[in-house]
Copies of this chain bind each other. A is one copy, B any other.
Amino acid sequence: MIQEDMRVMAHEEIADHIFELKLQGQMVQQITEPGQFVHVRISGKTDAVAPLLRRPISICSADVKSRTLTLIYRSGGLRTGTELLTHTRTGDTVDVLGPLGHGFPVSEAPAPARALIIGGGVGVPPLYGLSQALAKRGIQVTHVLGFRSAKDVFYQTNFEELGKTFVMTEDGTYGRCGRVTDLLETVPFDIAYACGPTPMLRALEQTITDKPLFVSLEQRMACGIGACMACVTQTTDPNDAKGYRRVCCDGPVFKAREVEL
């Protein structure tokens, strides 16, 4: 983990309020797993104090050769920190802490195997790097990506290059109408990975009980490195020695049903 002023190589809006930010720096070499995240300081200049806290953003993908990582984030709009981030331009630097946390265990999939990747909204980004890693190992990957509406869809073609991709929207304005869980029965798989809103993850934990499932969680964070205890979540096992996990450093990826959602 390092703190680095990373250089903005590209920054563009790829869907409604969704931005793709490419950053270059040494940090890329330290990334070990898809699903790790970085902690981004929005108020870079002159010791600015508002917004004060960093924002956790998943690493979408990384390229060691060009020392570049890609983030995809949603701007929360007026008066949010991420809105301020949208003003960053190519050539600027952004203060980034990372890579942080434990990502998706790619080796858990006994190759050759069929992996199912399920994403919702801004939970989709880390799954792209995951799918790349799985595909590289020769694993057959199927993607089920849920968005609210047509205007929110991003990265469909990127995923399609890696495997079969179902896009769904809640309001039916694009792809299939419905929720990602609606499709589960029709897709054969040996292992599943998911990232998205908590209700989605909860539904998946209830449905996928006979095969390995890994879920990536969100929690409000302060330090991002395990020191402040802001991001804890209880273990489902009441006899667990610690009784809790920190999403920032024990996660954000957990085995299904390891912690309370």
Contacts and interface: CB of A to CB of B under 8 A. Distances in A.
A79 interface: yes
Q: Is the interface of A mostly helix, strand, loop or mixed?
A: loop
Q: How many copies, total? A: 2
Contacts of A47: 78-79
A19 to B, nearest CB: 14
Nearest to A52: B50
Category for how many chain A residues contact B: 10 to 19
Contact of A46 (B45, B48, B49, B78): B78
A87 interface: yes
A84 interface: yes
Interface string A53-96: 00000000000000000000000001110011001000000000
A172 to B, nearest CB: 33
Contact of A50 (B50, B78, B80, B83): B50
Contacts of A45: 84, 87
Nearest to A82: B46
A77 to B, nearest CB: 9
Contact of A83 (B46, B79, B83): B46
Would you list the 4 A-B pairs with minimal beta carbon distance, nearest first? A50-B50, A49-B50, A46-B83, A46-B84
